[in-house]
Amino acid sequence: MTVVVLGGAGYIGSHTVDRLIEKGYDVAVIDNLITGHRAAVNPKARFYQGDIHDRAFLDEVFNKETNVEGVIHFAAFSIVPESMKDPLKYFDNNTGGMITLLKAMRDHDIKRIIFSSTAATYGEPKQIPIKETDPQIPTNPYGESKLCMEKIIHWSDLAYGIKFVALRYFNVAGAKADGSIGEDHHPETHLIPIILQVAAGERTGLKIFGTDYPTKDGTNVRDYVHVVDLADAHILALEYLKAGNDSNAFNLGSSTGFSNKEILEAAREATGQPIPAEDAPRRAGDPSTLIAASDKARKVLGWKPQYDDVKEIIKTAWNWKQTHPKGYNDRGEA
Ligand code: UDP
């Protein structure tokens, strides 16, 4: 039986492919390599380069991979500020891509999908920590595009019997402990990799976006989970569906919130670097605080995250950064 991973050359996808292979699964990866890296894909996985929008390409893959037990879908854009500027890019790729994928799954009789949803589907939370049953009212097009995906898959389950698990990620960070794979975005927009670029001397300083939020120190509060722990949750979710359980949605977070200033301080300690920073205006679309209630994933999926210390998470990202100062360096950049 084969697991098909869409977006398996991206940051979270490549760590999930790696964990699947380590656990003995047969894996095929689909990625258009627009943001992913061929070098991030474990060589034991079969690789198909192409786009989720391309129905003929998906048919070609699913005609070759005839024994698919489930798909894990990461192939989406995920940058909040970009989605504010270009919402249609997000609805087209994320939501539209899901429709094409589900049609192909329906026609090839593939009945299980695990997919990346996000804390951004909740928008400005009504309560902290956020529960899976809380209202989903996104404050940005990225979150809305993912919420649409959750809704479309729900109706596809009822109509075509495609079972799903939506995994609502909070903030993901870190890298595989041996430093062989990690985070490499162009351009980088996420807090921890940007802080580490400053630590490495590639940027002069960190801009802290917004210091007047109603939080402990005025900066946004986020809930960080290690990428390998996140990867493992996808495998547990697949096994959960294989055991005959019904479709479901789970938050994936640590249930602990760190402010942007606390992350900066933890990174200074983890790297031993001064990491200069300055206050800057708010970034559009950022909710003030996002912390997950993650007991449901622990209880129902049996998820046991291995990393519970944000400094340790940052250390794994720093290890990747130091051993791969130019990332995968597969874009011909100097
Ligand atoms: N952030 C920041 N400076 C940066 C990048 C991010 O202050 O250069 C803040 C951002 O405004 C948010 C937090 O860091 O409050 C986490 O942002 P990120 O883009 O990493 O993840 P998101 O929460 O948007 O998924």
Tell me the best of 260, 263, 278, 291 to mutate to test the pocket of ligand 1, counting ligand atoms within 8 Å of each CB and taking the most: 260
80-89 average pLDDT score: 94
119, 168 contact by CB (below 8 A): yes
Given a cut of 80, is residue 109 above it in pLDDT? yes
Mean pLDDT taken over the chain: 96
pLDDT tens digits for range 14-64: 999 999 999 999 999 999 999 999 999 999 999 999 999 999 999 999 999
Three-state SS letters, 92-118: HHHHHHHHHHHHHHHHCCCCEEEEEEE
Report how far ligand 1's centroid is from the alpha carbon of 221 (Å): 9
Q: How far is the C-alpha of 61 from the C-alpha of 44, rounded, in Å?
A: 17
Kindly give, in sequence order, each residue whose CB lies less than 8 Å from that of residue 143, ignoring residues fewer than 6 positions away.
80, 118, 120, 121, 122, 123
132, 249 contact by CB (below 8 A): yes
Q: How confident is the model at residue 286 (pLDDT cuts 50, 70, 90)?
A: confident
Name the residue at shortest CA distance from atom 25 of ligand 1.
Answer: 171
195 C-beta closer than 6 A to ligand 1: no
Determine which one of 142, 224, 240, 307 is catalytic.
142
Given a cut of 50, is residue 218 above it in pLDDT? yes
Name the residue at shortest CA distance from atom 10 of ligand 1.
Answer: 209
Name the residue at shortest CA distance from atom 6 of ligand 1.
Answer: 191
Give me the pLDDT at residue 334, please. Answer: 47
107-124 average pLDDT score: 96
- Angle 59-75-223 from CA coordinates, rounded to 5°: 155
Domains parsed from the chain with CATH numbers: 2-173+224-252 (3.40.50.720), 191-222+255-328 (3.90.25.10)
222 C-beta closer than 6 A to ligand 1: yes
- Angle 193-304-4 from CA coordinates, rounded to 5°: 70
190 C-beta closer than 6 A to ligand 1: yes
Give me the pLDDT at residue 132, please. Answer: 98
CA neighbor of 290 nearest in space, from 111, 130, 52: 130
CA neighbor of 293 nearest in space, from 257, 253, 259: 253
Give me the pLDDT at residue 287, please. Answer: 86
pLDDT tens digits for range 141-181: 999 999 999 999 999 999 999 999 999 999 999 999 999 99
Q: Which atom of ligand 1 is nearest to the CA of 283?
A: 11
- The C-alpha R_g of the chain, in whole angstroms, comes to 19
Give me the pLDDT at residue 284, please. Answer: 85
Concerning whether 142 is annotated as a catalytic residue, the answer is yes
